[in-house]
Amino acid sequence: MVAAMLQRGEEISSPGPYRRSLTAKARAGEFSIGPLLRGKANDAR
C-alpha cells in the first residue's frame, strides 16, 4: 500500500483518506499490490 502511495506521490492531496480507500478496496478484493510491484520491477530493467 505504501508503494501505491509513493507511486502517486503528488497526486494524493489527502493521504489518510487515500489509504483508507485502498484498504477498503483490498478488503473487497478490488486492489492488489502484486501488479504494482511487477510494474515497478519491469521499469527497473
pLDDT digits (tens, 9 = 90+) for 3-29: 767 777 888 888 889 889 988 998 999
The residue to which cell 487515500 is assigned: 18
Q: Exposure pattern of 19-28 as b/e (b: 16+ CB <10 Å)?
A: eeebeeeeee
Q: What is the DSSP letter of 9?
A: G
Better pLDDT: 11 or 40: 11
Chain CA centroid to CA 20, Å? 11
pTM: 0.59
